[in-house]
Amino acid sequence: MKKPLSVYLHVPFCEARCSYCDFYSNVSGEKEVNEYVDRLCAEIKAFNKRDYIVKTIFIGGGTPSVLTPAQITRIFKSLKEFEWADGAEVSIESNPNSLAREKLETYLALGVNRLSIGVQSFDDKTLKILGRLHSAEAAVSAIKLAREVGFKNINIDLIYGVPEGEVNLPSEILGELTHISLYNLIEEEGTRLTENKDLTRKTEDEVIAEQTQLESVLNRAGFSKYEVANFAREGFECSHNLVYWLGGDYIGFGSSAHSLVNNKRFSNSNQLIYRKGSEYNRTEFDIFRERVMLGLRTRYGISGEFAEKVRAESGKELAELISNGFLKDDGENIITTEKGLQILNQIILKIL
């Protein structure tokens, strides 16, 4: 019987670098991109696919939508050397300004059935602060075009907590969406945004108020929170990300991509001409720690042997967290409450 596997591909190219971004990405020419696609396809080809069936594929970046239809078609030709499960979830990240009808039609023809659009905000001033190239109007147009072309599963990324910024989520666009990722801005050292001292930062209370207001809008629109930063309509939770959070196997291809296969962790280097790093066999404690840290981020929590271990080894701490309304334990699953999600890192430290 073949083992389920998820596949991640990293496309480290962008049209421009956003002011808040500290991910590995490049603004490169056609020659560098074509050479990278060649390396990516060669890496996929070299992987032993015989024992696996692919349940999910996620193409992230960077901005994968900067690739031409011909380049993305080459990548999918290599991906189709895998056996795909029926109904496999296939996602690709994109930006509003690099989406056009031809690309969207190409994605659908290749088997992409989930589109993720990096909107971040529907406020032009905020988009400028973030260094985004698109306008609020372009974001709305991209979402509507994707629907028109035939995409039924569309996610958008949004960022709150932006200095002097706002999300300005238009209610009329919510009906076009099935999933929303809502991220609190983290200002990383060395980014242009962090170095801009002219902007007035929001207080912690202001950021929490903004988050609460946005989550209320999403709840009223039929979205349920199933992970710290992710909201979905029923049946549209991101299957690929659930593999990460719930402990499944995944293989990463491309620069800076990470993998977990057969209990071994490994990753590629952060270079266009990348190489595979050394493998690391996880210990029993590594597995336990990861399942607690990632499981408590979700509405599914932790269960089975992992929940039993928490009850046995951190019973006093668990009881205190339940008493204070941060966790709940129904006898099967230990789950973080909405109140607990606000202090998740402290909860994890207390349990581990």
Same structural domain for residues 157 and 216?
Answer: yes
β-pairing, 280-281 with 224-227?
unpaired
Same structural domain for residues 43 and 185?
Answer: yes
Predicted confidence (pLDDT) at residue 26 exceeds the cutoff of 80 = no
Examine residue 251 and state whether it is found in any structural domain, yes or no: no
Give the predicted TM-score (pTM) of the model: 0.94
End-to-end CA distance of the chain: 36
Predicted confidence (pLDDT) at residue 23 exceeds the cutoff of 90 = no
The CA-CA-CA angle for residues 323, 325, 330, to 5°, reads 80
Cα separation, 292 vs 352, whole angstroms: 8
Predicted confidence (pLDDT) at residue 28 exceeds the cutoff of 80 = no
Average pLDDT, rounded, for the chain: 94
Examine residue 265 and state whether it is found in any structural domain, yes or no: no
Q: What is the pLDDT of residue 198?
A: 84
Domain end point (choices 244, 264, 298): 244
Q: What is the pLDDT of residue 56?
A: 98
Examine residue 236 and state whether it is found in any structural domain, yes or no: yes
Contact 2, 35 (CB under 8 A): no
Contact 326, 336 (CB under 8 A): yes
Same structural domain for residues 228 and 302?
Answer: no
Examine residue 31 and state whether it is found in any structural domain, yes or no: yes
Q: What is the pLDDT of residue 20?
A: 76
Same structural domain for residues 25 and 114?
Answer: yes
DSSP-derived 3-state class of residue 161: coil
Query: pLDDT tens-digit profile of 282-340?
Result: 999 999 999 999 999 999 999 999 999 999 999 999 999 999 999 999 999 999 999 99
Predicted confidence (pLDDT) at residue 16 exceeds the cutoff of 80 = no
Mean pLDDT over 46-57 rounds to 96
Q: pLDDT class for 219, splitting at 50, 70, 90?
A: very high
Q: pLDDT class for 25, splitting at 50, 70, 90?
A: low
Q: pLDDT class for 24, splitting at 50, 70, 90?
A: low
Same structural domain for residues 68 and 16?
Answer: yes
- What domain range includes position 291? 283-352
Same structural domain for residues 237 and 290?
Answer: no
Same structural domain for residues 64 and 203?
Answer: yes
Examine residue 331 and state whether it is found in any structural domain, yes or no: yes
Predicted confidence (pLDDT) at residue 161 exceeds the cutoff of 90 = yes
Predicted confidence (pLDDT) at residue 14 exceeds the cutoff of 90 = no
Q: What is the pLDDT of residue 11?
A: 95
Examine residue 275 and state whether it is found in any structural domain, yes or no: no
The CA-CA-CA angle for residues 5, 9, 15, to 5°, reads 160
Same structural domain for residues 168 and 290?
Answer: no
Predicted confidence (pLDDT) at residue 27 exceeds the cutoff of 70 = no
Q: What is the pLDDT of residue 189?
A: 80
Number of structural domains, the chain? Answer: 2
Q: What is the pLDDT of residue 143?
A: 98
Report the CATH number that the domain containing residue 82 is assigned in CATH: 3.20.20.70
Cα separation, 296 vs 302, whole angstroms: 6
Mean pLDDT over 129-135 rounds to 92
DSSP-derived 3-state class of residue 226: strand
Examine residue 270 and state whether it is found in any structural domain, yes or no: no
Report the CATH number that the domain containing residue 338 is assigned in CATH: 1.10.10.920
Same structural domain for residues 141 and 287?
Answer: no
Half-sphere exposure of 248 (CA within 13 A, CB side): 21
Q: CB burial class (10 A; 0-12, 13-18, 19+) of residue 171?
A: exposed
Same structural domain for residues 207 and 128?
Answer: yes
Please state, for a pLDDT cut of 70, what percent of the chain lies above it. Answer: 98
Same structural domain for residues 192 and 301?
Answer: no
Query: pLDDT tens-digit profile of 189-212?
Result: 888 888 888 889 999 999 999 999
Q: What is the pLDDT of residue 127?
A: 95
Q: What is the pLDDT of residue 331?
A: 94
What six digits make up the tokens of 144?
A: 């509507």
AA identity, residue 312: A
Contact 6, 243 (CB under 8 A): yes
Examine residue 61 and state whether it is found in any structural domain, yes or no: yes
Same structural domain for residues 320 and 176?
Answer: no
Task: Give the DSSP per-residue string, 69-136.
Answer: HHHHHHHHHHHTTSEEEEEEEEEEEE-GGG--HHHHHHHHHHT--EEEEEEE-S-HHHHHHHT-SS-H
The CA-CA-CA angle for residues 264, 267, 272, to 5°, reads 160
